[in-house]
Chain A
Amino acid sequence: MERRENQTPQGQIARVLVEFLEVAIASVVFLKGVYPSGAFERRRYMNVVVQRACHPQLRYYIHATISGLLPFIQKGMVERVAVIFFNANDVPLEKFVFMLGVNLSYGSTVEEVDLQFSLRSFLSKLSISESLTKKLPPDSRWEITAYFRSLPEAGTSKEANLWIPSDTKQWQQPPLITPIKSMNCEPLCLQLYLEHPCLSESLL
């Protein structure tokens, strides 16, 4: 309790958000079936059933990446966090985009219960969103990419140095967007949507 009181609402939000993203990304990866379903175990988070990676490396990748974002989310620098699935040629096929908006000037305390309630709906919606997604070809891979509003200056902090500019291939055309879930629970606005390459491009 005391620990929480000492925090700014943004810090608190960021912590909740990071934890949530970790779970949600694991769920996305599970959903896409990149790994055999045996690589995941059922867990309960925010009172909904979620999937958690069993493999320590996989778990670590998700955990480390997302918790590495914590300071930046706190500062409101992270605009989007995307889980990108590539085919064997490293061409992105599908992106699960979490669009974050943290109200930095929000002053009062955050009701974590309210927040959880909203976040929970993401997880439940996510678990039934398979039909929206496209089947991945074999040999596909995936990564977590964060889109920053501005590039953190290298050398300003240790965390910033951990991040490198991404050389992810971009689509030539604007993608098609399929929203999955949106929430706006002050001071956090979170939206999850799918990006697919537009039809002409996918034919290439």
Chain B
Amino acid sequence: MSLDSFRSSSAPNSKRTLSFSNSASSIRSNDNNSANNKRKKMKTTATNQKTLGVAWGSNSSSSSRKPPFSDFGSYMTEKNRKLHNQFNAEASTSSFSASTSGKPIFAGVSIFVDGFTVPSSQELRGYMLKYGGRFENYFSRHRVTHIICTNLPDSKVKNLRAFSAGLPVVKPTWILDSVASNRLLTWVPYQLEQLPNNQPKLSAFFSLRNSKMSEDTFTNALCQVEPDIEDSSARVGNSKDRYSSDVAKVVEPSWQITIEADDVVSENTDAIMMEEQLTSVGVKCDEEDPVGGSNDAAKDVMNFQGELKPNNEEPSTSVTSLCSNDQNVNEIASSSSTRPSKQCHSTLSDPNFVENYFKLKFGICNVQSSRLHFIGTWRNRYRKRFPIPSTGFDNEISNINASTVSGNAVVIHVDMDCFFVSVVIRNHPELLDKPVAVCHSNNSKGTAEISSANYPARSYGIRAGMFVRDAKALCPHLVIFPYNFEAYEEVADQFYSILHRCCNKVQAVSCDEAFLDVTHSKVEDPELLASSIRKEIYETTGCTASAGIAGNMLMARIATRTAKPDGQYHITPERVEDHLSQLPINALPGVGHVLQEKLKTQNVHTCGQLMMISKVSLQKDYGMKTGEMLWNYSRGIDNRLVGDFQECKSIGADVNWGVRFKDMKDCEKFLTSLCKEVSLRLQSCGMQGRTFSLKIKKKRKDADEPAKFMGCGDCENLSHSVTIPLATDNVEVLQRIVKQLFGNFYIDVKEIRGIGMHVSRLESSETSKQEKYNLKSWFTSGSASMEKQKHPIGNGHDKQNMDGTSVLESSALQGSSVQMDNNIQDNQASADRISTPPPLCHLDAEVIRNLPPEVFSELNEIYGGKLVDYIAKGEGISESSSSLRNSLLEQEAINKKEELLDVEPIPQKNPLTKIEAMQNEAEGGEAVPDSGSGPSFNVTRNSSFEKDDLLPSSLSQVDGSVLRELPEDLKAVIVQQLPAHRRQEICSNVALVPPNENLQVALGVKNSENPGSTHVLNESLWAGNPPKWVEKFKISSCLILKKLAEMYYKSGLTSTLSSVLYQIISEFHQLNLAHQISDDSVNITCELLKQYIKVKIGKDIEEIYICFRLLKRFAAKSHFFLQVYNGVFPYLQEAVDDNYGGSLLITR
């Protein structure tokens, strides 16, 4: 008891005084536990002190001779103080070092970890440190708010209040899940399911799923999705282990979070210029064609700002010019409004665009994000405008296939001529033959890049991607226009309206470029069609377009090359070879400058030369895929289909312009926003990824400041990647991963010139979506999962048949619906089975009343508010009927069963033919023995799984041989469940069956040797929940029996006899006072024990052993128990001998 002094000794509550020895026992075990801890701790403290002593010994001898603590209590006080100090110190350092990682979600939570947990208490302590919680090494009612444990010893469960002092006892998953979802979840569903008092039914129901998940907690944590602003509802659907009661709460807080995050990000981008996010291209397609992504307008602005600085040679003037530019300011203002459009960008964009992007990238490391943004968002607009064709493709693909094979396919490639320029100058006819370029900056000295140049300008050698200053040098009178995005949109829409009018198979490549499959269109001459399309485009938009016609997409595009500008060209199959032979290899899609250089070393400059090389050697030199591609393309073979949708392989974002970091903090901020961007891109594609790679461009040691202002210059590319088990698009998970990846680089942030993040191993987020977030959907989804489950169950593989609490029992026999009793598995099984909420009358009022309020209100909603009335009504009933089983409800359930009986069970289609045969044979019966294995058996109740099950109302429907094969407990239950008047009947019927050595045992209708107690003999005392005997004993006149029943409730309804007997120990002195011992009560107790042996002997000899050891102890003191013990002992040994071939050695 002295140990108690450090646990809050003021804790003793009324319970403890009530049952003194109970709490004593619980304290004992508790102390054991903490004493263990203590021993360890003491050791460490002792060594600590020793080292301290050594360290300080030289200069302060007093410290080493510190007087011992006066008593244990003061020692513990001191120790606790130290532990707290330690914790505080660690907490402050950890929160300092991991500034952004740990949001103090556990503020105000102080946990005490009891016993063995997964994860270990140290890990939990780590979480507490990180997320602002507290961790107590020793229990204190005042300091601790939650007790964390995975398992409790029986004694603690029984005396929960003494143990927990009324504090919630929660499983560690709570902490993990809270960390995963980055907010404090309600602990209610995480309560320890062992606990008897807090609506064990439903909480167990929850916690089972929970524990099932616990294996994957970490991975699940990763897939837990933080709802985001734009599609919060959809994303909630992604999280796997949300609990129904949480849903509503989930959405709101995270809204706030994301909004906050947004703010932070925009501040960042506004404030720090170098954080400019020229996020380039997002998606990579099959053929390594990265497909267009875009950027948000805010980042555009930064781009402008950057460009508006005169240039890097004159840094002194840059600031003023920056500020003096009106346009700049305007842009900033508008940025806020355009920002939201970010989410609309489609990363599914066209391969063509990306090619352009890569052309642009020759030698330079950047791209006009604004244009990218436009193109990116354009795709989305396009989707909205022309939604039907894209779906139409799928249906027609087979046709396309056929036509491609037959070789007469006709594909037209339509491409607007220098789209960005011609749209801008369509209203300036005077500029038609002047060199014009589009660029976001007109500064003739700037390093802004030309985005597009018209043909007159191109004749000066001006190319897209060129710096303005270089272009101006080539052509001083070059006219430079800024972008006009409205116009682009308008023209692009017109362009596609025309295309869609002319052809029903259109594959959009970019805003100004598309493929048409005219194979099956009625037009005879594709050239005629092409020219009419071009004419219409010109008339409508004022801009010219070129068209290439050929047998496949590759050739059509190559034809367009020849056709440009403002022309069309038809490559007929005969001319393919001619055309290709002189074609430079870089005209082929997929041949970039690296590949080109490589080929050049082989002296390959044209496709004709490429054709000379065999496929094998190409594949050897350039890899299987590239080799094959080169081989095919050089021959004009292209198997892509118009409208063929290429699946995303990876999604990501790269920023390699303007990346300059001052310190780690900048970098972290940047990474955070990059993750956000990537996450948004993932979401907009409806994808989740498992592999995350972070690429970093690091300035080479000897590299100078790049020519391009804020460009990346000469860099080495570093990359790290990690694969996680569960796909995610959650921004917070991404951030965590990225932070971890970044840590792997060991890089000076000042040397970073570009960062990219890519997500691959994509999975559609649809598949991982599960809607299990409220009870209702749970119920409905239950039916779906049932379909799957049916099979194994139908095959008799139901694991629950093996123990006393089978599905059969719960769904069929006890029948009354929400029977969330017995064991957890059962609960789940029966709940899964409920495809619609059970009828109101089937609900256990007791259970409902004990539900947590939020669950209750949800259930109430499902029942349309009737639940409240029902409970109010039920108040009276439930008081009188201690067991639901006996109530009217039960009767109704039975009636229902009788109705259902008319339906013959239809045997499930069964893969095991043997069993099937047997099933058919026994179709009339409800259960079929599985002869293959003794203990298992087959139950065909396929048609009736939903809620109530059928039970034979008359014996004609019970096959005696079937009944015999059932395990005893099940049999007992069946017999017990029959209406009372039929019971006799069935017993006699079974007796007609040829005797079986186990029959009596199995039936639980044992004929006792004691004729005095016939009134109990016909039923199983251990069936039901609470078991029959409890009620019987409760109304008994014998004090001991009454006590037993009482103890059953005290023991926490665990329905093990040993727990009841343990309880008895505490009140044993009272029992001794009872002098009147009737033979009847001895007999019935013997019967109880015998039946218990029957139930347990096969599976749990330990339990029986414990019971009898206790009984033996009792027998030494109580005449009653001595009689019982002696009465049952022979039977026990007989049973043990039967089952184990030996006799039980019972020591005390």
Say whether B793 contacts A107, CB under 8 Å.
yes
Residue of B nearest to A189 (CB): B1099
Q: Which residue of B797, B933, B1103 has the most chain A CB atoms within 10 A of its CB atom?
A: B797
Given the known inter-chain contacts A176-B1143, A179-B1105, please indicate yes or no for A106 contacting B799, CB distance below 8 A.
yes
Q: CB < 8 Å: which of A76, A182, A184, A196 contacts B803?
A: A184
Say whether B799 contacts A107, CB under 8 Å.
yes
Given the known inter-chain contacts A105-B796, A112-B215, A174-B1137, please indicate yes or no for A180 contacting B802, CB distance below 8 A.
no
**Nearest Cβ in chain A — how far from B757, in angstroms?**
26
B3 on the A face (CB < 8 A): no
CA–CA, A178 and B1143, complex, Å = 9
By a CB distance below 8 angstroms, the chain B residues around A176 are: 1142-1145
Say whether A175 contacts B1142, CB under 8 Å.
yes
**Nearest Cβ in chain A — how far from B1083, in angstroms?**
27
Provide the A58-99 mask, 1 if CB < 8 A to any CB of B, else 0: 000000000000000000100000000000000000000001
Say whether B933 contacts A76, CB under 8 Å.
yes
Say whether A113 contacts B799, CB under 8 Å.
no
B211 on the A face (CB < 8 A): yes
Say whether A101 contacts B1142, CB under 8 Å.
no
Given the known inter-chain contacts A111-B215, A112-B215, A184-B803, please indicate yes or no for A179 contacting B1101, CB distance below 8 A.
yes
Number of A-B pairs, beta carbon distance below 8 Å:
105
Q: CB < 8 Å: which of A114, A180, A191, A195 contacts B1142?
A: A195
CA–CA, A172 and B1142, complex, Å = 11
A141 on the B face (CB < 8 A): no
**Nearest Cβ in chain A — how far from B691, in angstroms?**
16
B151 on the A face (CB < 8 A): yes
CA–CA, A99 and B1102, complex, Å = 12
Provide the B819-836 mask, 1 if CB < 8 A to any CB of A, else 0: 000000100000000000
CA–CA, A1 and B797, complex, Å = 23
**Nearest Cβ in chain B — how far from A58, in angstroms?**
29
Given the known inter-chain contacts A176-B1143, A177-B1136, A184-B1099, please indicate yes or no for A113 contacting B211, CB distance below 8 A.
yes
Given the known inter-chain contacts A108-B799, A177-B1145, please indicate yes or no for A114 contacting B211, CB distance below 8 A.
yes
Given the known inter-chain contacts A174-B1137, A176-B1145, please indicate yes or no for A191 contacting B796, CB distance below 8 A.
no
Given the known inter-chain contacts A47-B118, A107-B795, A113-B211, please indicate yes or no for A101 contacting B1144, CB distance below 8 A.
no
Say whether B1142 contacts A182, CB under 8 Å.
no
Residue of A nearest to B1101 (CB): A179
CA–CA, A99 and B1098, complex, Å = 10
Say whether A177 contacts B1140, CB under 8 Å.
yes
Say whether A182 contacts B802, CB under 8 Å.
no
**Nearest Cβ in chain A — how far from B1078, in angstroms?**
33
Q: CB < 8 Å: which of A76, A99, A187, A196 contacts B799?
A: A187
By a CB distance below 8 angstroms, the chain A residues around B295 are: none
By a CB distance below 8 angstroms, the chain A residues around B1145 are: 176-178, 196
By a CB distance below 8 angstroms, the chain B residues around A189 are: 802, 1099
Say whether B802 contacts A103, CB under 8 Å.
yes
CA–CA, A177 and B1105, complex, Å = 10
By a CB distance below 8 angstroms, the chain B residues around A178 are: 1105, 1144-1145, 1147
B932 on the A face (CB < 8 A): yes
Q: CB < 8 Å: which of A107, A114, A186, A193 contacts B1101?
A: A193
**Nearest Cβ in chain A — how far from B214, in angstroms?**
6
B1100 on the A face (CB < 8 A): yes
Provide the B81-118 mask, 1 if CB < 8 A to any CB of A, else 0: 00000000000000000000000000000000000101
By a CB distance below 8 angstroms, the chain B residues around A99 are: 1140
B968 on the A face (CB < 8 A): no
By a CB distance below 8 angstroms, the chain A residues around B796 are: 105
**Nearest Cβ in chain B — how far from A122, in angstroms?**
10
CA–CA, A136 and B789, complex, Å = 52
**Nearest Cβ in chain B — how far from A110, in angstroms?**
9
Say whether B151 contacts A191, CB under 8 Å.
no
Residue of A nearest to B824 (CB): A114
**Nearest Cβ in chain B — how far from A177, in angstroms?**
4
Say whether A182 contacts B799, CB under 8 Å.
no
B1141 on the A face (CB < 8 A): yes
A104 on the B face (CB < 8 A): yes
**Nearest Cβ in chain B — how far from A132, in angstroms?**
9
A198 on the B face (CB < 8 A): yes
Given the known inter-chain contacts A101-B935, A103-B936, A107-B795, please indicate yes or no for A177 contacting B1100, CB distance below 8 A.
no
Residue of A nearest to B804 (CB): A184
Say whether A177 contacts B802, CB under 8 Å.
no
By a CB distance below 8 angstroms, the chain A residues around B800 are: 186
CA–CA, A1 and B214, complex, Å = 15
A15 on the B face (CB < 8 A): no
By a CB distance below 8 angstroms, the chain A residues around B795 are: 105, 107
Say whether A111 contacts B1142, CB under 8 Å.
no
CA–CA, A195 and B1143, complex, Å = 9
Q: Which residue of A1, A112, A182, A198 has the most chain B CB atoms within 10 A of its CB atom?
A: A182
By a CB distance below 8 angstroms, the chain B residues around A106 are: 797, 799, 802, 936
CA–CA, A198 and B1100, complex, Å = 22
Say whether B1143 contacts A177, CB under 8 Å.
yes
Q: CB < 8 Å: which of A111, A114, A191 contacts B1102?
A: A191
A117 on the B face (CB < 8 A): yes
B798 on the A face (CB < 8 A): yes
Say whether B825 contacts A186, CB under 8 Å.
yes
**Nearest Cβ in chain A — how far from B1133, in angstroms?**
9
Say whether B802 contacts A186, CB under 8 Å.
yes
A32 on the B face (CB < 8 A): no
By a CB distance below 8 angstroms, the chain B residues around A181 are: 1102
Say whether A177 contacts B1099, CB under 8 Å.
no
**Nearest Cβ in chain A — how far from B1033, in angstroms?**
26
By a CB distance below 8 angstroms, the chain B residues around A76 are: 933
Given the known inter-chain contacts A105-B933, A108-B792, A178-B1105, please indicate yes or no for A186 contacting B1140, CB distance below 8 A.
no
Provide the A164-204 mask, 1 if CB < 8 A to any CB of B, else 0: 00000000001111111110101101010101101000000
By a CB distance below 8 angstroms, the chain B residues around A113 are: 211-212, 214-215
**Nearest Cβ in chain A — how far from B82, in angstroms?**
28
CA–CA, A170 and B1100, complex, Å = 25
Given the known inter-chain contacts A113-B211, A174-B1137, please indicate yes or no for A105 contacting B930, CB distance below 8 A.
yes
Chain B, range 176-235, C-beta contacts under 8 Å to A = 211-212, 214-215
By a CB distance below 8 angstroms, the chain A residues around B933 are: 76, 103-105
**Nearest Cβ in chain A — how far from B177, in angstroms?**
16
Chain B, range 882-896, C-beta contacts under 8 Å to A = none
Say whether B1102 contacts A107, CB under 8 Å.
no
Say whether B1100 contacts A191, CB under 8 Å.
yes
**Nearest Cβ in chain A — how far from B514, in angstroms?**
42
Chain A, range 112-139, C-beta contacts under 8 Å to B = 112-114, 117
Say whether A180 contacts B1102, CB under 8 Å.
yes
CA–CA, A106 and B789, complex, Å = 12
Residue of A nearest to B799 (CB): A186
By a CB distance below 8 angstroms, the chain B residues around A1 are: 725
Residue of A nearest to B1141 (CB): A174
Chain B, range 1104-1148, C-beta contacts under 8 Å to A = 1104-1105, 1136-1137, 1140-1145, 1147
By a CB distance below 8 angstroms, the chain B residues around A186 are: 799-800, 802-803, 825
CA–CA, A111 and B793, complex, Å = 17
CA–CA, A107 and B794, complex, Å = 10
Residue of A nearest to B788 (CB): A108
Say whether B116 contacts A47, CB under 8 Å.
yes
Sample (9) of A-B pairs whose CB atoms are under 8 Å apart: A99-B1140, A108-B797, A174-B1141, A174-B1142, A177-B1142, A178-B1105, A181-B1102, A184-B803, A191-B1101
Q: Which residues of B contact A (CB under 8 A)?
A: 116, 118, 151, 211-212, 214-215, 725, 789, 791-793, 795-800, 802-803, 825, 930, 932-933, 935-936, 938, 1099-1105, 1136-1137, 1140-1145, 1147
Q: Closest 4 A-B residue pairs measured CB to CB?
A: A107-B797, A107-B792, A182-B1102, A186-B799
Beyond contacts A104-B936, A181-B1102: 18 other A-B pairs, Cβ-Cβ < 8 A, are A103-B799, A106-B799, A108-B789, A113-B214, A114-B211, A117-B151, A174-B1141, A175-B1141, A175-B1143, A177-B1101, A179-B1102, A179-B1105, A182-B1101, A182-B1103, A186-B800, A187-B799, A193-B1101, A195-B1142
